[in-house]
Amino acid sequence: MMPRRDFLRTASAAALALAARPPRAAAAPRRPNILYVLADQWRASAFGYTGDPNARTPVIDALAARSVDFRTAVSVCPVCTPYRAALLTGRYPTSTGMFLNDLYLPDGEVCLAETLKAAGYATGYIGKWHLDGHGRAAFVAPARRQGFDYWKAAECDHDYPKSHYYEGDSPVKRIWEGYDAYAQTDDARRYIAAHANGDRPFFLTVSYGTPHFPHATAPDEFKALLPPESIRFPPNVPAESIDEKLRREAQGYYAHGMALDRCVGRLLDALRESGIERDTILVFTSDHGEMMGSQGCPACQKQVPWDESILVPFLLRYPALHGAQGRVVRTPIVTPDILPTLLSLAGVPVPPSVEGEDMSALVRGGGPEDRAVLFMNVAPFDNFSKGREYRGVRTARHSYVRAIDGPWLLYDTMADPHQMRNLAGDPAAADLRKDLDAKLQAALKRIGDEFKPKAHYLAHHGYRVRANGAIPYGPDEGEVQSPRR
């Protein structure tokens, strides 16, 4: 692997050399802006365009119709910090060591914003970060922001009516005015307007905290649109588990989603009003899903290997490339693929450290019809994953998962979209299981993961965890923990 500083120095030199060339008769086309809109814990199925009867998402539904709509977008490790680390590095959790919440992403990793900045981009980050590991309320120093310059962010805060953030280089804690997603959207609109006609393209990430719990703090105007008794649950939610508590959690979850739908609309307005809609890559996605009672899991659960947890929305709109007409893509894409895909679309070289695959051909109208993508939970915590480590592969049709003691889950999601018939032990599915297991083993071999018990990975990196398996994150709970390199 090329050392981080060497790669970034080379990329910066190339950008400067390009800028220093004498003008030609026709200027080279400007690279696209990139607006990355990231929700937290919004599962792929919880939208109008994916058929959820409870969802009220007209803006995002219309966006899906004009986007490349990846219907099999997989969160590589469905929990906050591991996803975010995989997004920014293009690498797998077992490779970076970032497989638990509240770890610090090492400075030695080559990250997306650093790469784009070296190629001449202005970079900005608004909202939830969750990669600093110095405490959820701590100031994230500029040197630890992985290439983002503009900064209005917090490590982690889900107190939506009064959540905090830090601005620029100031260590003074500030509070977003009102419901934080609205205030963050306003700030993003100002950023877009200020950079729309600048001499550099921009890469802006807007990282919302919702619809992650607590759900009761969703705006009342949206909760009123969905009374708890009106909520319809999918068939994989056991009838006996549907009580008033679950209904109220679901009400708040969908209400947070309605509020974010409004926010996405205001971001789209900002692009259009600034005249840069056509030349901006817009991504709308989430870090992982939410079980909300499915498979007998309670509300507010993630990390588990079912589709409600691992599948996320992934809409990519780039009108200059694919026009105004959208299309649905069933070919799977997984978190580490996002970095090389965006860099390729922007015409920026991909760092040699990246493990994900460039899927930009799917945006351009080509690419593979199917593939098997790897997802995992290396060290489950807080009683998630039913305490079981796992590795799995997802194809356009099948989901296959192994636990340490052998095959655990196998679903034909075309015939069984709610994953209610586990074929892992079905003799009639033996050949299918063998084929998917071979694909899983090949994926693990490619990244050098031997799939050992979680104790091995904890010991390898020297992590100290609570009794529930989580990294301590309180202000008085020990030192910063970061992967060993």
φ, ψ (nearest 5 deg) of residue 111: -110, 165
Ranges in the chain, pLDDT < 70: 1-28, 384-386, 475-478
The vertex-306 CA angle with 132 and 355, nearest 5°, equals 50
The per-residue pLDDT for 30 is 86
Going by C-alpha positions, the residue among 388, 361, 362 that lies closest to residue 376 is 388
The per-residue pLDDT for 2 is 53
Task: Compute the Cα dihedral for 81, 85, 90, 96 and give only its sign.
Answer: negative
Q: Name the pTM for this structure.
A: 0.94
Going by C-alpha positions, the residue among 342, 30, 32, 34 that lies closest to residue 204 is 34
* 333-334 and 73-74 beta bridge pairing: parallel
pLDDT digits (tens, 9 = 90+) for 206-225: 999 999 999 999 999 999 99
- What is the set of active-site residues? 80, 130
The per-residue pLDDT for 23 is 43
DSSP string, 232-244: ---TTS-GGG--H
CB 11 within 8 A of CB 349: yes
What's the one-letter identity of residue 267? L
Going by C-alpha positions, the residue among 409, 359, 311, 310 that lies closest to residue 77 is 310
Q: What is the DSSP letter of 123?
A: E
Q: Tokens 């799977």 — which residue? A: 332
In whole angstroms, give the CA distance from residue 341 to residue 310: 20
In whole angstroms, give the CA distance from residue 177 to residue 162: 7
The per-residue pLDDT for 277 is 97
Q: What is the DSSP letter of 23?
A: P
Is residue 280 helix, strand or coil?
Answer: strand
Q: What domains sit in the chain, N to C, each tagged with a CATH number?
A: 31-371 (3.40.720.10), 375-461 (3.30.1120.10)
pLDDT digits (tens, 9 = 90+) for 419-444: 999 999 999 999 999 999 999 999 99
The per-residue pLDDT for 115 is 98
CA-based end-to-end distance of the chain: 13
